Structure 1
């Protein structure tokens, strides 16, 4: 039998061993710079560094960090990194004298190739400090040495985080600037920022964060070439490129092998499979505030960066298509009922019956709506539903996906509208040009698809809902410039004025004309 005192002694030894292991592991996470002075003297040839100690540097580093806090984009993350690592000068000691920091500054200096202002990343200041360390006589006191080490560390850390965030996530959060943006978009967090600071091979890290998307590279090539698109000024062409480069940096792109994507300014739907379009068709999207393209990137007004969406604009979103409803009933939204249906009914007593629209009050169907005095009806007093028919505004089928904007993809009886060039004509939903083909793409050669095909042709239609055996992602997006399959750049009018909004927020981060001329 184990005696209690023996058990307690064994437990104490085990606990002490665990504490020792934890302490060793914690210490191993931090670099030992006990020979900091000798190390820096060997690398710089400047005798001033002989007396440098980690403790002396830490005291000055804390002071400089407090002084520079207002100049850092992410001061808490940077402060936490250095606090946890004992204010170890990782960039100065490990990356300055082998050329890594200079190389990093070279990447920063070429930020204009991404449509970004290089001065944001302080390449020139970094290079000046690096040159000072490499000059044996430039640093004349130990206090100056400590200050310069801290400054170069913070300058490099801040610029590396900013550059990494810009290329991997974009400069602007679309959720913050767009009123009707509901697409899941990943933004940088402290983990992503710390990964940048912990990179052991800076060149490999910088190469890894350069956007690899072929679309990005083609727009980047066009930006560097500095050409002018047909019918545009050089300035407008440039602005088209930089706003769409920014969109490509946002982490909101589909990753699934199969998905449906609608590009609002292109009035087009594609079913993408394994990176290629397996089906495409024309679509009609919601009305916009800029259908005549009067607001443009040629002349920009500061007030334009405030997003003021028209009530019928189709939102940007992502969701999952989970079902199709054949021969749907249209539950007419209250806004349409008030502004259109009730107005038409007041002018024509037979309008409702001709359109197959039933009227409800307090949940009960009104048997004789022709007797209603619509001129005195109150907003919200009546509800309207349109029965399945060839006149139903949803056509013969609608595709359902969850969203908070009450939009969906659907058929339409107004087929002639697909022949128009400007197709921002709906109340917000997306009308699809070939709904049967879309159903076939989603359901495949299944019994459900056979039911859809049969019921859509039924002369006496009734609503039928069929669930997709496997949900398919849908993305409704907004892109005004891209390279087509032949590498030719395509430009589309900014039908909702969203380029102008984005440019308004982005322009303070853009390179000036001389920086662009140097590309």
Structure 2
């Protein structure tokens, strides 16, 4: 930037005097009305080089343009050891199952130590280091804040079946973080305080082993489940229904305590995997009709009908074409007819795959909770056996929680005992939140960490993204 020659050297020295005076003023909090043009050019250059490959590039450009390209955060944080406190937190993120290099911690420490050794900003390269430390500070504070409050990885990048509403950082959040006047109290305030999260941290530090896993594998499981806890997708109402797909379990939560627990069956791994989502249960259907999806009709219903011409009638499955019910479905030759041309409905009764009751909540995946006539399935260890919907071990206990004692609950019981079952919808007095989620580590009633299998293989995907830092 500066070339040889007497005039050039003179201008260079004059510029350094300006830089040194400004730098010292910045360190000791002395305000200044204007910034030398040369330092602005250096700042812009470093901003472009340092931030071009990192998140928040546009937000940083806006922030520093507004602040006339000054080392704003260093002016705030160099005093009172606040920058050292930030570095300490960055280097301790293994307690959160994270790698310090996500925040460029080693580079941060190196430059900070170099600048601390410089009592005077003697040359342009030292000033560049100061600007770089400013930008690394801004990046680290914002990255750390974002991860602690929202998580590091986007859930949809891990699971294509993820549909839960999840809050993420926006421009308002970025601005609020960069406007912080101090570090220590702020960093302390954003530490996750969830008791399950704390239990995971304790397990991580104590080097405990999950059953059948190595220490490295155990730490990986804890790390990915801590990340899931950081995602802002959890129910905020005091009462809700939670299905942990990985553990084949349903809990009714009231004031953060489980008041009802039962086994469930969930979707098979692969095309039938159950989704992760948030919704609200608004109604039940007693003696439900099962509208068999085309995919299941093609892969199972018609295949069985080919083997046994009476399969449809014996399983109470009605067949429709062009909106009209076919009187004798056993006469259909499925070797020349396509399943796509027909609609299949399993009518209410003892054989219905949905049992005697199903619980409805809005979602785009067409899934719901339901009873099942196959009670033996709940004795299996691996209960990933459905086509995506959730089969319930204790449907009537869930109905009692949702409706409470009273006329509607009695109506449900009476309808289910009817010898001539007919489908009937009964709306809830008030909708109840439900979340279908996925945790391969959680805590029991004593607060101890419990582990389960990664039935959909999502832990490995999430672990790789945590290691990559995105």
What is the TM-score of this pair, normalised by structure 2? 0.91
Q: Is the 8 A contact 2:167 2:232 kept in 1?
A: yes
Q: Which residue pairs with 1:107 in the alignment?
A: 89
The residue that corresponds to 2:242 in the other structure is 261
Write the distance in 2 (CA, Å) between the matches of 1:50 and 1:153.
Answer: 17
Contact in 2 for aligned 1:481/1:491 (Cα 8 Å) = yes
Aligned pair count reads: 451
Equivalences for 1:331-350 in 2 at 5 Å? Answer: 331-350=291-310
1:492 — aligned with what?
452
**8 Å contact kept, 1:44–1:136:** no
Aligned 1:19-168 pairs, distance under 5 A: 40-41=23-24, 54-56=35-37, 57-135=39-117, 137=119, 139-141=121-123, 143-144=124-125, 146-168=127-149
Which deviations, in whole Å up to 9, do the C-alpha atoms of 1:29-60 show, x marking residues without a partner?
Answer: xxxxxx99767536869xxx999962343333
Matches within 5 A, 1:314-393: 314-393=274-353
Pairwise CA distance, 1:65: 1.4
Unaligned runs of 5+ residues in structure 1 are 1-34, 289-309, 511-519
- SS of 1:487 mapped into structure 2: coil
| 2:416 equivalent in structure 1 | 456
C-alpha deviations, 1:178-199, integer Å up to 9, x for none? 1111111112222222222111
1:200 aligns with 2:144: no
Match of 2:443 in 1: 483
TM-fit CA distance, 1:468: 1.1
Secondary structure of the corresponding residue to residue 265 of structure 2: strand
Residue 122 of structure 1 deviates from its aligned partner by 2.8
2-side partners of 1:495 and 1:216: how far apart?
22
* Alignment check: 8 A CA contact 2:92 2:100 kept: yes
The 2-side partners of 1:108 and 1:266 are apart by 33
1:244 aligns with 2:225: yes
C-alpha distance in 2, partners of 1:271/1:412? 19
In the TM superposition, residue 269 of structure 1 has moved relative to its aligned partner by 0.5
The equivalent residue for 1:415 is 375
**Rounded Cα–Cα distance in structure 2 between residues aligned with 1:64 and 1:42:** 21
CA–CA separation in structure 1 for the residues paired with 2:329 and 2:290: 18
- Summarize the alignment of residues 407-446 of structure 1 with structure 2, pairs less than 5 Å apart: 407-446=367-406
Instruction: Please say which of residues 84-93 and 204-213 is displaced more in the overlay.
Output: 84-93
Give a deviation string over 1:352-372, Cα, whole Å, max 9, x none: 121111111111000111211
Equivalents in 2 of 1:98, 1:506: separation in Å? 33
Change (3 A) 1:370 1:184: same
Instruction: State how far apart, in whole Å, the 1-side matches of 2:398 and 2:50 are.
Output: 57
Q: Name the residue aligned to 1:170.
A: 151
Describe the shift of the 1:405–1:371 C-alpha distance in structure 2 as closer, same or farther (beyond 3 A): same
Change (3 A) 1:41 1:314: closer
- Three-state SS of the structure 2 residue aligned to 1:242 is helix
Contact 1:36 1:52 in 2 (8 A): no
State the Cα deviation string for residues 82-139 of structure 1 (Å, max 9, x = none). 1112223222222113211111111111111111111222334334433444445453
Question: Where in structure 2 are the equivalents of 1:269-308 lying within 5 Å?
Answer: 269-288=250-269
* Superposition TM-score, scaled by structure 1 size: 0.82
The one of 451, 466, 475 aligned to 2:426: 466
Preserved contact between residue 281 and residue 431 of structure 2 (Cα < 8 Å) = yes
Between the aligned partners of 2:380 and 2:387, the Cα distance in structure 1 is 17
Aligned-partner Cα distance in 2 for 1:177–1:113:
22
Relative to structure 2, which stretch is displaced further, 146-155 or 363-372? 146-155
Query: Structure 1 residues 121, 504: CA separation in 2 closer, same or farther (over 3 Å shift)?
Result: closer
Q: CA deviation at 1:345?
A: 1.5
Secondary structure at the aligned position of 1:99 is classed as helix
Deviation sequence 1:375-433 (CA, Å, 0-9, x none): 22113121111111011111110000111111100001111111111111111100111
2-structure distance, mates of 1:405, 1:191: 32
Q: RMSD across aligned C-alpha pairs, in angstroms? A: 2.3
